[in-house]
Structure 1
Amino acid sequence: MELTYLRTFCEVVTCGSYTRAAENLGYAQSSITAQIAKLEEVYGAILLERVGRGMMPTFAGKSLLPYARQMLALNEEVKGIISGGNKGILAIGAIESLAAYYLPHRLHHYRDRYPGIQLRVQPGSEVEIITAVKEKSADFGLIFDTPYVSEELVSLALRQEQLFIITHPEHPLALQPELSLSQLAGEPLILTEDTCTYRQYLLHELKQSGISPRIDMEFGNLEGIKQAVKHQWGTAFLPGYAIEEERRQGSIRAIPIAGAEQRFYIQLIYRKDRFLPPAYSDFIKQMQVQ
């Protein structure tokens, strides 16, 4: 029964709300409140507190959270072993762009083979995804970065991806076969959030070249960035996998950076000590499909 309480606690933390947690778990809100109260009684501490309109973990709650996620993950792992890995929950942490443009058709084929496995995609920043995999709240993680190295995690490079300067087809730079960083001086930039690895790379390279970037707009999703470019509001910087359709349609221009040496890869990460039943091994193989 305590695992049920822990699952409810984690869901409330994730949602920041009793109401949304109740909707996601299929409980009445009164049941959520009662389960949290029972859990606080078990641990002898207040675990959640109201901040503004949402619920946030207290110091005790923050201390419990990684252990709660590990206990739930271990329970799912044991169920997977007992069932042969064909039932249970497969939690995948993924940055927003990979969740939108890389995962869908691969998960479609995987679901056909393993209908008994519930797939749970957890969006987040790279740091959050790596932490989730290490803490076992995610079974696998998908990141986009230079090669990631860890003593705890396996990192499989699934595919190398080129990064492009993105412009409207009528932009003065659109006909250039490649662009130097100096040509971005003064250009209004439309960028992703500041936790994005390739945004950090671009700004670092501009700084190294003595260029002060002109950041006019920031978006938390790539569709917003692409629409802004199509409206000729500025120039963006995106990976090839996120703009394949627009390049085919000719609605944007994708121009490589001259002399770019840094290599970025779509990478699948998971714990080195992770038990891999056949269904999990097949998931890894499916992620490697080009």
Structure 2
Amino acid sequence: MELVYLHTFREVARYGSFTRAAEELGYAQPTVTAQMQKLEQSYGAPLFERFGRKLRLTQAGEALLPYARELIRLYGESKEVIKQQTTGPIAIGTIDTLAAFFLPPYLQAFCQQYPQVDLVLRTAGEAEIVQQIRDGYLDFGIIFDRPCTDPELITHVICEEELVIIMPPGHRFATATALTVHDLCGEPLVLTEEGCTYRGMLLEAIGEAGMTQRIACQFSNPEAIKQCVRCGLGVALLPLMAVKRELAEGALTAIPFQSDKPPFTIQLIYHKKKWLSPSMVTLVDTITRSQREES
């Protein structure tokens, strides 16, 4: 049995489709079908079943999937060990806000030391980043969330980051020293995208308070959110780092958001079984240095 069959199996399981897996892998669909037939013959059990147009894993397929992921991960790790790589790509997943307002100086410092390493930055929501690390598609994640307790991951808490309610200067909240969820009652909101952790926290708090709230608009891009707030469409919840320039320019006002929820922190995460090359160790050290310097 070839490892490539397990790789194809993982992709079919990921997308729930032979056609989509074939497109992602650059194969013709009959090639994917033939590989999966050979894999089923090798294990002596069907790995997929169809319900109408939906493709699902059988019980045997569900049992095989974690082994397939582990074998693929080990194969990749063995190649890295042999190469002792200080070249090649490092894939990092993060959210838009951290990509724009937190990571650049750390990546610049790393690239000065390892100019031959290609850093591949992919933006996504925290839940997707965690899953892609589990599946081996990302080397590292930089997330903004309440403390990560996933037993499969190693977590470095870098720092806490304050969440603030932003508004135009002259807004009725502009002279407040702090705001709670109850203060926002009746105020239109400009939200981040679904899946954003601090959006989820805010909506959870609104629901627990028994409030209903009008959502003016929602974006994944923090710059779009800030522009809408400046235009008076509503107020927004963002990390303080995302609005420091506008605060200095007097274009926006930011008031701390008080909540009884656990504080949000910037965290670097990776799989506990991930082998770290020398360049990866340096990257972790570079990004987590601020944590050690403050402690």
2:155 counterpart SS class: strand
Q: Percent same amino acid among aligned pairs?
A: 38
Code of the aligned partner of 1:204:
E
In the superposition, the TM-score normalised over structure 2's length comes to 0.73
Letter in 1 for 2:124: P
Q: Deviations over 1:156-212 (max 9, x none)?
A: 11111000011112322123222233221100011123322212222233334x351
Show the counterpart of 1:228. Answer: 228
Structure-2 residue corresponding to 1:121 = 122
Q: Which residue matches 1:190?
A: 190
Taking structure 1 as reference, are residues 11 and 118 closer, same or farther at Cα in structure 2, changes over 3 Å only? farther
262-271 vs 79-88, which deviates more?
79-88
CA gap of 1:5–1:262, structure 2 versus 1, over 3 A, is same
- State the Cα distance separating 1:258 from its structure 2 match: 4.3
* 1:238 to partner: Cα distance: 0.9
Matched residue type, 2:137: S
TM-score, with length taken from structure 1 = 0.74
> C-alpha separation between the residues in 2 aligned to 1:230 and 1:12?
45
Unaligned runs of 5+ in 1: none
Give yes or no for contact 1:190–1:217 (8 Å, CA) kept in 2.
yes
Residue number in structure 2 paired with 1:214: 213
The alpha-carbon distance between structure 1 residues 259 and 96, as it changes in their structure 2 partners (threshold 3 A), is: closer
Please give the per-residue CA displacement for 1:118-162, whole angstroms capped at 9, x wherever unaligned. Answer: 535352332x22222223332222221122223322111111100
Write the letter of the residue equivalent to 1:217. Answer: A
2:282 corresponds in structure 1 to 282
Q: How many residues align?
A: 286
SS in 2 for 1:187: coil
In structure 1, the residue corresponding to 2:214 is in which secondary structure?
strand
Closer, same or farther in 2 for the Cα pair 1:274/1:214, shift >3 Å?
A: same
Whole-angstrom CA distance in 2 between matches of 1:212 and 1:244: 30
Say whether the 8 Å CA contact 1:69–1:137 is kept in structure 2. no
CA distance in 1, matches of 2:33, 2:104: 35
Q: Is contact 1:182-1:211 (8 Å) kept?
A: no
**Cα distance in 1 for residues equivalent to 2:251 and 2:33:** 50
The correspondence of residues 111-190 of structure 1 with structure 2, limited to 5 A, is 111-112=111-112, 113-121=114-122, 123-126=124-127, 128-190=128-190
Aligned-residue offset at 1:40: 10
Separation in 2, partners of 1:283, 1:73: 20
In angstroms, what is the RMSD of aligned CA positions?
3.9
Q: Could you tell me how far 1:37 is from its partner in structure 2? A: 11
CA distance in 1, matches of 2:78, 2:16: 29
Query: Which residue does 1:266 correspond to in 2?
Result: 266
Q: Is the 8 A contact 2:125 2:195 kept in 1?
A: no
Residue by residue over 1:235-290, the C-alpha shift from the partner in whole angstroms, topping out at 9 and shown as x without a partner, is 10111122222222222111102465631100111222322232111111121244
The residue that corresponds to 2:293 in the other structure is none
**Contact 1:169–1:253 at 8 Å: present in 2 too?**
yes
